[in-house]
């Protein structure tokens, strides 16, 4: 388990050092390229901002109205039987449908329970190993007009369920 | 999709609030959340720009080409139906690398072009080929190095250790990707 913590601490510095070393060895003006690349970050964040406002507003309404609690409590008995945090149920479902809506719920969970609560940690890990299956599938297959997707959906769901299960097991061991 | 989902979330929320008598909370919740989105974006602006800046150095240093080359034998094994020198392989490699580095906006165009190339190899134009199924399943298993945005979000909400989820995230993403490949290979063997 110590290795995992070390991995968390080391990976970003290692990536930065490695890329910088590559840049210098190719005689690249690394600082100039960095600032140029940082501009892209502005564009991305500004592009996401309107979506984020819209979705956080919608999730804010769901939370304040008590709807999220109603959903969590309805599924709680089944969720708790397998040791699944009940407050992570709405986000697990939404994750398959919409990336921005699930980000909205993620932020709501951080705000309501804190990022260092068990639910907060679990959803952080879970978000990094799952994908918006339904959206991605329809976008990619529709772009080439394919209607028979065969075992793609089943495979994607298997992968995502495996990711969620692994997150739950790992988080229980680390922070249970 | 979001067009209906968004409206549904708002309608359901307000309807429930009307029944539970929490309309005042809903008003504050909506306004508060909209305000918070901007605060989060300010944090994101810093973290995301740092990441894209670093990645840009990597791009200029030819890191992407190097990674594409290293990825080749693996992709050859993953997609036996695709000729090694076909353009589809390059597009797939670009998509996988962009996803791996957490560059979602760069991954999607490459991914869509990969689908187009794979479609040109497809015999039944309305039916997904084996390679397409594998590509999509692999893509949706979300293999990525660091979820830098999650770290930024945790930072915004005052986590004591925002980056502590990087290691667990790497392990679980490997699990989901391994499951994806196993499933795809098993289905290919069965059919």
What digits encode the pLDDT tens for the residues A75-97? 889 998 988 999 999 999 889 88
User: Inter-chain contact B1–A138, Cβ cutoff 8 Å?
Assistant: yes
Closest CA–CA distance from residue A79 to any residue of chain B (Å)? 20
- Asked if pLDDT for residue A1 goes beyond 90, the answer is no
Mean pLDDT across chain A: 93
Selected residue of A2, A17, A37 to mutate for chain B interface (largest B Cβ count, 10 A): A37
* A63 domain residue, yes or no: yes
The answer to whether residue B8 scores a pLDDT higher than 90 is yes
Q: pLDDT for B99-133, tens place per residue?
A: 998 887 789 999 999 999 999 999 999 999 999 99
Q: What is the mean pLDDT of residues B51-61?
A: 94
For residue B54, the chain A residues in CB contact (below 8 A) are 15-16, 19, 34, 37
* A76 belongs to a structural domain: yes
Inter-chain contact A65–B14, Cβ cutoff 8 Å? yes
Asked whether the beta carbons of residue B166 and residue A7 sit closer than 8 angstroms, the reply is: yes
The answer to whether position A111 is within a domain reads: yes
Let me know if residue A6 belongs to a domain.
no
CA distance A171 to B43: 26
Average pLDDT over residues A144-152: 95
**Which residue's structure tokens are 């795809």?**
B184
Whether B2 sits inside 8 A of A22 (CB atoms) is no
In a domain, A20, yes or no: no
Q: Which of A15, A23, A159 sits opposite B183 (nearest CB)?
A: A159
Tell me: pLDDT of A124 over 70.
yes
Residues in chain A closer than 8 A to B167 (CB atoms): 3-8, 11
Taking CB atoms and an 8 Å limit, are B57 and A19 in contact across chains?
yes
Arithmetic mean of pLDDT, B5-30: 94
CB-CB contact of B169 with A129 (8 Å): yes
Mean model confidence pLDDT for chain B = 94
Of B85, B184, B73, B87, nearest to B139 by C-alpha is B184
Determine, for residues B1 and A154 on separate chains, whether the beta-carbon distance falls below 8 Å.
Answer: no
- Whether the predicted pLDDT of A111 surpasses 70: yes
Beta bridge partners of A148: B127
What pLDDT is attached to residue B124? 95
**pLDDT at residue B1, as a whole number:** 65
Q: What confidence score (pLDDT) does residue A99 get?
A: 86
- Give the ipTM: 0.91
- Provide, as residue numbers in chain B, all residues whose Cβ is less than 8 Å from the Cβ of A141: 115, 128, 136
Q: How close is the nearest chain B Cα to the Cα of A88, in Å?
A: 16
Q: Which helix (H) or strand (E) holds B172?
A: helix B166-190
Please tell me the predicted confidence (pLDDT) of residue A163: 97
CB contact under 8 A, A35 and B53: yes
> What confidence tens digit (pLDDT) does each residue in B120-172 have?
999 999 999 999 999 999 999 989 998 899 999 999 999 999 999 999 999 99
CA nearest to B90, candidates B110, B104, B107? B110
Does some domain include residue A50?
yes
Residue A8 lies in a domain: no
Share of chain B above pLDDT 90, in %: 87
Cβ pair B6, A54 in contact under 8 A? yes
The nearest CA of chain A is from the CA of B51 a distance in Å of: 7
Residue A16 located in a structural domain: no
- Reference B91, options B118, B62, B70, B114; nearest CA is B114
Residues of chain B found within 8 Å of residue A39, distances taken between Cβ atoms: 49
Residues 6+ apart with CB under 8 A from B51: A41, B102, B148
Mean pLDDT, rounded, for A152-166: 97
Query: At A110, is the pLDDT very low, low, confident or very high (cuts 50, 70, 90)?
Result: very high
Q: How many pairs of residues across A and B have Cβ atoms under 8 Å apart?
A: 355
Q: What is the dihedral of CA B79, B80, B81, B85, to 10 degrees?
A: 80
Instruction: Please give the residue range of the domain that contains residue A106.
Output: 30-175
Structural domain count of chain A: 1
């Amino acid at each position: 388990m110590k290795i995992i913590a070390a991995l968390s601490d080391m990976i970003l510095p290692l990536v930065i050092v490695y890329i910088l070393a590559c840049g210098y060895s190719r005689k690249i003006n690394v600082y100039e390229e960095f600032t140029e690349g940082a501009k892209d970050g502005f564009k991305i964040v500004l592009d996401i901002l309107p979506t984020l406002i819209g979705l956080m507003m919608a999730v804010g309404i769901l939370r304040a109205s008590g709807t999220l609690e109603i959903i969590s409590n309805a599924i709680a008995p089944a969720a708790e039987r397998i040791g699944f945090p009940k407050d992570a149920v709405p986000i697990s479902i939404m994750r398959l449908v919409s990336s921005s809506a699930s980000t909205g719920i993620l932020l709501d969970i951080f705000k309501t329970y804190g990022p260092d609560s068990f639910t907060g940690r679990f959803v952080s890990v879970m978000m990094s190993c799952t994908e918006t299956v339904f959206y991605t599938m329809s976008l990619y297959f529709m772009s080439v007009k394919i209607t028979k997707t065969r075992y793609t959906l089943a495979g994607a769901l298997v992968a995502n369920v495996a990711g969620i299960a692994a997150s739950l097991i790992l988080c229980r061991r680390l922070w249970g | 999709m979001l067009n209906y989902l968004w409206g549904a979330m708002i309608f359901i929320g307000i309807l429930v609030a009307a029944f539970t008598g929490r309309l005042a909370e809903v008003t504050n919740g909506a306004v508060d959340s909209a305000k918070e989105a901007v605060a989060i974006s300010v944090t994101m602006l810093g973290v995301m720009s740092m990441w894209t800046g670093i990645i840009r150095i990597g791009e200029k240093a030819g890191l992407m080409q190097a990674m594409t080359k290293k990825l080749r034998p693996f992709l050859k094994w993953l997609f036996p139906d695709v000729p090694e020198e076909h353009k589809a392989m390059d597009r797939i490699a670009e998509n996988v690398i962009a996803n791996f580095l957490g560059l979602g906006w760069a991954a999607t165009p490459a991914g869509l072009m990969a689908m187009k190339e794979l479609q040109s190899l497809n015999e039944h134009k309305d039916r997904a080929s084996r390679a397409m199924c594998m590509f999509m399943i692999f893509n949706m298993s979300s293999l990525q190095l660091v979820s830098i945005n999650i770290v930024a979000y945790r930072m915004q909400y005052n986590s004591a250790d925002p980056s502590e989820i990087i290691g667990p995230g790497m392990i679980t993403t490997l699990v989901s990707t391994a499951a994806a490949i196993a499933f795809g290979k098993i289905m290919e063997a069965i059919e």
